[in-house]
Amino acid sequence: MKSVAEICSDLIRFDTTNPGAGERPAAEYVATLLSDAGVEPVVFESAPRRTTVVARIPGDSPDALLIHGHLDVVPADPAEWELHPFSGEIVDDCVYGRGAVDMKGSCAMTIATVLGMRERGLRPKRDLVLAFLADEEATGDFGSRHAVAEHRELFDGVSEAISESGGYSVNHGDVRVYPVAVGERGTSWMKLTAHGVAGHGSRPAIDNPVATLVEGLSRLSAYQWPVRLTPSVAALIQNLSEITGQAIDLDRLDAEAERLGSLGSLFKAQIRNSANPTMLEAGYKVNVVPSSAEAHVDGRYLPGLQEEFLATVDELLGPKISREFVNLEEAPAAPYPSDFFDELAGSLVAEDPLARPVPYVMSGGTDAKSFDRIGIKGYGFAPLMLRPDLDYFGMFHGKDERVPVEGLEFGTRVLTRLLTSA
């Protein structure tokens, strides 16, 4: 049987950059591993080479658990990396390459866990559904959205799910904090357009849309979004206060996040909404005032705050700038406290006595949004024990992405315990 590190390396060597040539080679590799272990995969495509793999393993209870991961990755420039981003090399006991953290390492842990269970004759305590998806790094239209819309029956009986961006260790003194995601901020990707009057660039402009758009973006960028503490983030802060032995001042959370360093990063971006301009386009010649100007904004909002977020955006932009959605997704939230959260926490503590699991809310988004639409409540739980010197958040979409071999092995043990109580 292949080790989890070998599977991770193999997956990284498939260049599944999105946008790119698609996920098919990686999906076929996953399907072959599962099939060889006696698990019958369902393989389908939403478009040529945009391939997803789903498999179901019967358990002792028909109340099914979904483990989902994505096979696509964001682009990587080899010139910026110490090792080639698609080499999958193992150096200094770390697997290097694009996707090591986001999230082929997690997919490898899931596969290795299932292969190990099959080899040992272990049956999951509940039905287990595995999904290895295309297109998470874009909108999910070719992946999770297609899966829930066109293959809904594959997820029958699933009540809860686990996936990326949670269950990793953050070192603090003699304990390790493990944030388990119980929600995400919602996504509001917007295209903004300002219209005006075209004219010669040497003459006074009557109504310059570039200036209108820039002024609106400036107001949006300068706006200090108010702190909005959701129950899950408040619970996280209370947990961190108890772990550190120091009260966290709720009236100065930005400063407290800086003081707490890596622990503060768990709530720094999750205490308010945000809207960041990311793309600009206007004009075609330096001496021509164009008739329109466009920009794109990455907006994120906390659970329950979509209406407040959009109203604020409209007020800041003003009446001369219109907006349309490139992608709008709700902010999903999973039950907390809950028996299932306790199961996740217990599996961590059983493998790491120094573990202190805490709830948190992701600043970004995952495929959990698609599954939430069909009633599947998602938790961020891809367990990893990380070295103190590794910047987990910095490696997401960053250069020299890597994951420790011992971290992958730890995650495989945690998942095995979670799925089987073995």
Decide: 159 and 64 in contact? Cβ < 8 Å: yes
For residue 76, which of 404, 391, 397, 402 has the smallest C-alpha distance?
A: 397
DSSP 8-state symbol, 73: B
E-assigned strands of 21-123? 41-47, 50-57, 64-70, 90-91, 94-96
Domain ranges of the chain: 4-165+366-420, 184-329
Decide: 53 and 72 in contact? Cβ < 8 Å: no
Place of tokens 């071999």: 405
Give CA 255 to chain center in angstroms: 26
Q: Is 320 helix (H, G, I), strand (E, B) or coil?
A: coil
Terminal-to-terminal C-alpha distance of the chain: 19
pLDDT at residue 84 tops 80: yes
| pLDDT of 364 | 86
High-pLDDT (> 90) share of the chain, %: 93
Model confidence over 345-385: pLDDT tens digits? Answer: 999 999 999 999 999 999 988 999 999 999 999 999 999 99
Evaluated on CA atoms 136, 139, 142, 147, the torsion sign reads positive
The alpha carbons of the chain give a radius of gyration, in whole angstroms, of 23
Stronger pLDDT, 244 or 389, i.e. the higher one:
244
pLDDT at residue 169 tops 70: yes
| pLDDT of 397 | 86
pLDDT at residue 247 tops 90: yes
Model confidence over 183-211: pLDDT tens digits? Answer: 999 999 999 999 999 999 999 989 999 99
Tokens found for residue 421: 């109580």
What is the total residue count of the chain?
422
Model confidence over 391-416: pLDDT tens digits? Answer: 887 788 889 999 999 999 999 999 99
Strand bridging mode 377-380 / 158-163 = parallel
- State residue 345 phi and psi, 5-degree precision: -65, -40
- What is the rounded average pLDDT for all residues in the chain? 96
Tokens found for residue 40: 């019958």
| pLDDT of 34 | 98
Residues in a beta bridge with 54: 42, 131
Q: How confident is the model at residue 86 (pLDDT cuts 50, 70, 90)?
A: very high
Decide: 309 and 220 in contact? Cβ < 8 Å: no
Model confidence over 65-81: pLDDT tens digits? Answer: 999 999 999 999 999 99
Same fold, 4-165+366-420 and 184-329: no
- State residue 204 phi and psi, 5-degree precision: -60, 130
With b meaning 16 or more CB within 10 Å and e meaning fewer, what string describes 109-143?
bbbbbbbbbbeeebebbbbbbbbbbbbbbebbbbb
| Cα–Cα dist 395/398, whole Å | 5
Give the pLDDT mean for 290-317: 97
High-pLDDT (> 70) share of the chain, %: 100
| Cα–Cα dist 148/171, whole Å | 37
Model confidence over 31-57: pLDDT tens digits? Answer: 999 999 999 999 999 999 999 999 999
| Cα–Cα dist 276/222, whole Å | 10
pLDDT at residue 422 tops 70: no
Query: Largest Cα–Cα distance in the chain?
Result: 80
Q: How confident is the model at residue 389 (pLDDT cuts 50, 70, 90)?
A: confident
| pLDDT of 176 | 95
DSSP per residue, 154-215: GGTTEEEEEESS-SB-EEETTEEEEEEEEEE-EEEEEEEEEE---EETTS--SS-HHHHHHH
Residue 203 class from Cβ within 10 Å (0-12 exposed, 13-18 middle, 19+ buried)? Answer: exposed
Q: Which class does domain 184-329 fall in?
A: alpha beta
Domain 4-165+366-420: what homologous superfamily? Answer: Zn peptidases (3.40.630.10)
Which sequence positions are flagged as catalytic?
Answer: 72, 136
| pLDDT of 396 | 82
